[in-house]
Amino acid sequence: SHVLTQPPSVSEAPGETARVTCGGNNIGTESVHWYQKKPGQAPVLVIYYDSDRPSGISDRFSGSKSGNTATLTISRVEAGDEADYYCQVWDSSSDQGVFGGGTKLTVL
Amino acid sequence: EVQLLESGGGLVQPGGSLRLSCVVSGFTFRTNAMGWVRQAPGKGLEWVSFISGSGAATYYADSVKGRFTSTRDNPKNTLYLQMNSLRVEDTALYYCAKTKIPGSGAGGAFDMWGQGTLVTVSS
């Protein structure tokens, strides 16, 4: 089945730009969604269909895709952005959803 | 206000069964596909299943295929996950989630989630 590869961790100082990557063989042909997950809370959708942002999500969050890699970019990082971030796609070859392993964002 | 409330979790022995429920409100349930996602203790999110708005189409992760069944009762605004032949590795917090765009297929994003119900499989 499809595998999505994320770095285990990313660290940035407040005010800097954090980038979380998600690699997969077929990402170029699939829609990528991104979720923020904080301990004890339900996941929150922050980017859908590669680069669309739900209402209520800060415009500091953006998504992009190039080749086999999707990227979640968080500009002007704040302490409140500290969380685990997951990418997700639909694998049409196996008819299953797939999440990446998650990336822990630490705000220094 | 959109709300999703899961229930039915608990402690069960390996090989046992549980049925999870997810009661929703605040949106037109029958028009939205739904899904189940789980998170084992200390682990990441794992996609479990998807069911279309009518219930006619269902998909499952390989890890649960043949053991779990997702159904829905649209007049009751309720989603179900029947879990049979439970294994220790099924221990997790189970979330139900709605797709963002009515009528979207299995590739749609989950925009609203419940708070989860804990399933513990242990002897």
pLDDT of residue A28: 87
pLDDT tens for residues A74-84?
Answer: 999 999 999 99
pLDDT of residue B103: 80
Q: Does A15 touch chain B (CB under 8 A)?
A: no
How many degrees, rounded to 5, is the angle at CA B60 between CA B57 and CA B61? 155
Average pLDDT, 10 consecutive residues per value, chain B (123 residues)? 97 98 96 97 97 95 97 98 98 96 86 97 97
Three-state SS at A16? coil
Question: Over 70: is that where the pLDDT of A1 sits?
Answer: no
Q: Which of A45, A92, A99 sits opposite B47 (nearest CB)?
A: A99
Residues sharing a CB contact under 8 Å with residue B2, sequence separation 6 or more, in sequence order: B24, B25, B26, B27, B98, B112
| Interface touch B47/A84, C-beta < 8 Å | no
| Interface touch A95/B114, C-beta < 8 Å | no
DSSP B54: S
DSSP A84: E
Residues sharing a CB contact under 8 Å with residue B81, sequence separation 6 or more, in sequence order: B19, B20, B22, B36, B48, B49, B68, B69, B70, B94, B96
| Interface touch B44/A30, C-beta < 8 Å | no
DSSP A20: E
Beta bridge partners of B71: B80
pLDDT of residue B107: 86
Residues sharing a CB contact under 8 Å with residue A56, sequence separation 6 or more, in sequence order: none
pLDDT of residue B59: 96
Contact B31, B53 (CB under 8 A): yes
Name the strand (E) or helix (H) holding B115.
Answer: none
Three-state SS at A70? strand
Q: Does A37 touch chain B (CB under 8 A)?
A: yes
pLDDT tens for residues A54-90?
Answer: 999 999 999 999 999 999 999 999 999 999 999 999 9
Distance to chain B for A42, nearest Cα, Å: 5
Contact A24, A18 (CB under 8 A): no
Name the strand (E) or helix (H) holding B11.
Answer: strand B10-12
Q: Count the neighbouring beta carbons within 10 Å of the beta carbon of residue A101.
A: 17
Q: Does A42 touch chain B (CB under 8 A)?
A: yes
> How far is it, in rounded angstroms, from Cα B117 to Cα B7?
6
Q: Which amino acid type is present at position A76? A: R
